[in-house]
Structure formats: structure tokens, C-alpha cells
Chains A and B, each alone.
Chain A
């Protein structure tokens, strides 16, 4: 059923909990931010994550992975969410691994999957073009040229785009903006002539880039999956991204909530702990309830990813919708219940609010997911 963790899953979760709390706590994100670190994450940490089997969590053993599965991937993401850990886990271990698993040729898998699992190659998905997640609106063009393609257009919100060794680029080979048909995925070396990458500093101090492509020439063997039929693979990638981000948000929202309830248990005003005021108790109790609901949604989404990735679109969209709005509430209530200190950089709660803002936007905010759900259900 997947709603109760097995012993094995519990072990993975606890292992991840200890690992991130020890190796990549919030302090690390602060250091990366304050030192204006060029990479934006700790490469040593990523190497250790590879050793732990985290980088290859979705990769089979034949390709050097640990093949733990999506439930485990989600449990790892949740712990990263708790600690606001910066790493290429989502971009590489989730998005790129899914892209190759679903769309890669035997050659491509052989070439790239072991490098992902080994932590040697970082990959980034260049998908978004507008302000809001909207794959069908892809406008970037890939025209046939010689024995390959020529790419033109621009991408934004490319997670880990400025440090990626390979880009997975979504471009249009036919049709027009608005169609899911006519999309093609390409594996592109970011050092190819005509590519200009700009790292964008984001509100959550995590990695993102804008990338421009001007007459970028790629060979035919750069195509990942089928020409014009990239939609199916792209949907699988996005679905995996949503599930991982929902799991991350469960950790982020849950930790924001924990820090808040800890704070109001201690802070005194009017001679008593502010947690003794029913006005705060009820909102905390409400958030507790919402977060329990969220946990079920995430567990179901992860389970369905493992069981039947194709049929998982609905539960994953539902989980992402729920986590988008509840984690937001946890962040907002967190700052409010902290009072003045909640507005300071010194306290961590603001960092949670910021990360939640970004993560809930990735692969579509709650509004977007609800719109998708309604469409899937046919109303």
C-alpha cells in the first residue's frame, strides 16, 4: 500500500536524516550564499551522496546505480528539504536519470547513467521559457540542418544550469507553441558554440540559470528519444520532478512547522509561553493536520511512481498541489508566529519561506496542478 514505510524504507529515511543533518545542514546553505560560492553546492557533498547511492537512486545496477526506487528518492528529498540542502539531486539524479531511463538509447544510457550514478556528471533540464511552467508553450526551435539540428531560443529557470556538464534541451521540431506534439529532447554540451549561460541569483540562494541558444549545431545522435515525439518522455521527466519536489516540500514545510512550534513553546510574553495562547495553538494544530494530509499525499504519489509511473500523473499532481499550498502556509505562519525575529536573516525560518516560494513554483504551482487535475478528471 505504501502508506506505511517498510522497515527497509524507514532505514533509508533515517540514514538520510542523519546524513543531511550532519553533512549539509542549513548552515551550509548560508555559507554557500555568504561566500557567493560559484558552484552553488558543495561538490564534496555530491561525491558523498553518490557513494551513498543517492545519485543513482533511480538508476539500475547494470548502469552503476543503487536502484533504490522512487519512494526512497522521495525520502531522501524530504530530508534535503528539511535541511535546505543544496545539491544537484533533483536536476541530475531525478530529472536527468528519468530522461535517460525513459528516452535514452542503449548507447546514451551506457554513456551517461553510470556517470550520473557516480556523481561525475551533472545534468540540467532546459525546459521553461516563460514566467510559469508551461511545456506546451515551448517555442525554442530545432531546425534540421546538415545531418543534425540547429537550436535557437532561450530558456530560464534551469536548475544547476550554470554548472551542468550536459543539458537536456526541450525544443520544437514541428507544430507551434501550444502543442505538446512536435517537441524533441536533445542532449547538448553546454560548451557548444552559440550557447550563453547566465547564472541567476535566486531568492532561495539555490542554483538557476538562463541560457540562450543561437544557431547551436548538434548532431542527429544528440536526440534523446524520438523526434517530434518528445512529449511522452518530457511528461515522465516533469512528473518525476513534481513528485521529488513534493517530497522535498514535505520536509521543508514540516521543518518550518517544527521550528515554529519549538519557538512558541519557549518564547514568553505576558509572563507566559506564547504557545499557551489558543490563537496560536489552533493554527499550529491546523497545520499539523494539513501536514499529516500532505504526508499521505506524498507517500501515495511516491508509491504510484514506483508501481506505475504512467498512471501516477494524477496522484503526483495532487500531491504537488497540496504541498504547494500547505508548505506555503507553513512558511507564512512560521514567520508570523516568530514575530520580529521571523523577519531577521539570523533566524532560519525566513530561509524556509524563501525556498518554499521557489519550490512550489517548480513544475507548476498549486493553481496549475489543480487545473491539470480538473482537466484529467474531465470537468
Chain B
């Protein structure tokens, strides 16, 4: 038996003993995801047990080094773990901007003290992070950000406003882009700082979305004191870190894996004709087309990740994956709404689980906006991969 086979056996046995049955059922909506954090209320004992068990193994972040709360697994081992989890339909134990975004950036750019302070609580789901990038005047043109950060000798002072800050009202800490040099060209005066959302002067106001939910906020900073050791990387060199983090964010948003095959969902809803075919032939063709694209997209994701050197990011290809994956996900939800017909239009009540499908459908419209819009991804592909003149 190879080492990997032995590892698979070990994982299988461990999962069998430690993954609660409840955590082996599909999530009903994204509220079922576990986000962790200081004030987090677990949805169930099973959810809490599952997080604790996985965190103890370091398997919430399988490839992070052990000293930072990770599992220290090789890429191959992590794949085994993922496939074994998928086999028993285990839920992800933890959804976390810390894992998807900040962690990789700290691993690459953070100093030892920062890694020791922040990575283990992320891995254990104890501290929940939010992303302070966008501002009212700096969306696609992120580098135009104007939140001011002044050097006050032994500390920094932050003043300004962020917007679209997802879960700012629930997060414990924020990783935040600030301007530390107003004289330099716009990319050269940005710094990357971390601070506690409970610091005096921080205020998060929820914004209501078209889905009727309010997962994101306007976030205001008034004379917020930030300790100097919370600067990541060098002063005025934050843009490199910001961009590196974005490539990870994009891989995460682009990853639509784990969903039920669209053909399965749709077949149950519009019904079949006399020949046992989906009653709507046009929908049938579109579903098949989407299945082809989803299949090939997942393969591409796997291929690109396999090609990338261990620990390295995908660079500009993350834009291709983000663009394609999010547009695909939007298409998938359009088809699900088409298939659900009248039922999918309900917004409240038990029958529709309070309009879960309609609200999810609306939420997916943000996929091609968050983390850089589709247009921005296409611009990046044109410039950095195709090297188009003038791009």
C-alpha cells in the first residue's frame, strides 16, 4: 500500500468517527454555512463539534503549516482529504475570509509574529475577518482609494470610509487598504493594515440588498488607532499584497464545485414529456450546454491548480477562472429559475423556504461584481495574458 493509500484509509476512518451525520447533508441555504468568530452562534451542536474536530486536526486549512494551525498536508494529501469529504458529502467545516483571502496573503507577506498571532485563530474559526477594500469612489479603480492613514509616531490614525464590506457587522477584525502617501502615484501610496473592529471609531452600517438580506455594510472610520505592528509588509507597498490577495479571492469566488448537477435539479421541477425527456426542449438543451461547461470548467480549475507550483497563485489566470466561473454560476441560477417557473417566484413562506431560490438567484448577480467585475477580469486577461496593445 502506498503512503497515499494509507493516508486515505486513515482519513476515511477518522471522518467516519468524527463527521456528525447532520454535517453530511447538503446545506439548505448559505445560512447553513459555519462562519465562526467571537460572537458566533452555532446553528447546531453538530456544526460546532464538526468545526472543533476538524480544527484540532488542522484540516480547516489542510495545507497550512502545522505551527499556524494547519494540517501540514502535501497537495496530494489535501486532495485525498477533499475527495474523502466529498465521498461522504461532508460540509465544509468553516467558511472564512480569513482562510480564503487573508491567510494566503499573511503566509506570503506577513512577518513571523503576525503569522503566529493571526493564522491559528483563523484556522480554529475563532476570529472572523472582513475585507476593507472598496470605497464609494474606488470600486473597479481600486487603486484610487482614499481612506487616510497617518503616521502618529508610535501608532497610525485611520480616517475614511469603505463600502460593500461583506459581513463588516459580524466580523471581529478587518484587513484594510489605506492610503499612506497622497503625493505618490496612486499604486505607490497604499498600505495594508489589520485592526480590530471593536476599536473605537469603527462603525458598520448594513446595506439592504436586492435579495432582501443585508450581508454587506458601509464601514466608517473616525480617528481609528492602529498599532504599528499591524502593518503587513512595507509601508506604501500594500498594492502588491492587495493584488495577491485578490487572486486568491477570485479563485474562491470562481469555485462553484460541490453543487448538485443542474440536470438533477431541473429534471425534478419542469417534469418529463411522454418520451421521458425534459418537457421543455429548449431548457433541456440549455441545461445540457451548461453541464458541458460546468464539467469542463471544473476540469480547468483542477488543471490550472495542478500546473501551479505548490503555494504559488495562479496569477492572471485567476481572472479567467473568476470570470468564467461566476458567469457560469449566474447562468446556472437563471436556468434553475426557469425550471422552477411560478414556484421560483415566491418570496416568503414555508413552501419556498422564504424564497430561498429567488434570493439565491439575486445573490448570484453579485458574483460577477464582487472581487472585481467581469469587465475588470476581461481587461486583466487582455492586458496580462493576451498583452493587447494599449490594454
A residues less than 8 Å from B361 (CB atoms): 357
A353 at the interface (CB under 8 A from B): yes
Q: Is the CB of B141 within 8 A of A353?
A: no
How far, in Å, is A42 (CB) from chain B's closest CB? 20
B240 at the interface (CB under 8 A from A): no
B106 at the interface (CB under 8 A from A): no
A7 at the interface (CB under 8 A from B): no
Among A132, A202, A342: residue with most chain B CB under 10 A: A132
How far, in Å, is B339 (CB) from chain A's closest CB? 8
CA distance A370 to B281 in the complex (A): 10
Q: Is the CB of B212 within 8 A of A342?
A: no
Q: Is the CB of B140 within 8 A of A269?
A: yes
A44 at the interface (CB under 8 A from B): no
CA distance A254 to B157 in the complex (A): 48
B residues less than 8 Å from A357 (CB atoms): 337, 345, 358, 361
B282 — nearest CB in chain A belongs to which residue? Answer: A367
A residues less than 8 Å from B365 (CB atoms): 332, 335-336, 342-343, 353
B residues less than 8 Å from A203 (CB atoms): 345-347, 355, 358, 362
CA distance A201 to B338 in the complex (A): 19
B10 at the interface (CB under 8 A from A): no
Q: Is the CB of B342 within 8 A of A361?
A: yes
Q: Is the CB of A344 within 8 A of B208?
A: yes
- A202-B345, A367-B338 known; A350 and B281 CB under 8 Å? no
CA distance A125 to B340 in the complex (A): 21
Q: Which of A186-202 contact B (CB under 8 A)?
A: 200-202
Q: Which of A275-328 contact B (CB under 8 A)?
A: 277, 279-280, 328
Q: Is the CB of A354 within 8 A of B210?
A: yes
B144 at the interface (CB under 8 A from A): yes
| Total CB contacts across the A-B interface at under 8 A | 122
B191 at the interface (CB under 8 A from A): no
A residues less than 8 Å from B341 (CB atoms): 130-133, 361, 365
Q: Is the CB of B210 within 8 A of A132?
A: no
A135 at the interface (CB under 8 A from B): no
CA distance A336 to B327 in the complex (A): 11
CA distance A332 to B281 in the complex (A): 24
CA distance A346 to B344 in the complex (A): 23
Tell which of B118-126, B296-304, B367-375 binds the partner.
B367-375
Q: Is the CB of A132 within 8 A of B280?
A: yes
A residues less than 8 Å from B378 (CB atoms): 279
How far, in Å, is B377 (CB) from chain A's closest CB? 11
Q: Is the CB of A131 within 8 A of B140?
A: no
CA distance A234 to B82 in the complex (A): 55
Q: Is the CB of A345 within 8 A of B342?
A: no
B209 at the interface (CB under 8 A from A): yes
Q: Is the CB of A339 within 8 A of B342?
A: no
B271 at the interface (CB under 8 A from A): yes
CA distance A202 to B361 in the complex (A): 14
B134 at the interface (CB under 8 A from A): yes
B163 at the interface (CB under 8 A from A): yes
B residues less than 8 Å from A332 (CB atoms): 330, 365
A205 — nearest CB in chain B belongs to which residue? Answer: B347
What are 18 A-B pairs at a CB distance below 8 A?
A: A130-B341, A131-B339, A131-B342, A132-B280, A200-B346, A279-B379, A332-B330, A336-B365, A336-B369, A339-B140, A339-B369, A343-B365, A345-B210, A353-B210, A354-B362, A357-B337, A371-B280, A371-B281
Q: Given A201-B355, A343-B365, 8 more contacts at CB 8 Å?
A: A132-B280, A201-B349, A205-B347, A208-B345, A270-B140, A271-B141, A336-B374, A340-B163
Interface residues of B (CB under 8 A from A): 134, 137, 139-141, 144, 163-164, 207-210, 212, 269-271, 279-283, 330, 334, 337-349, 355, 358, 361-362, 365-366, 368-369, 373-375, 378-379
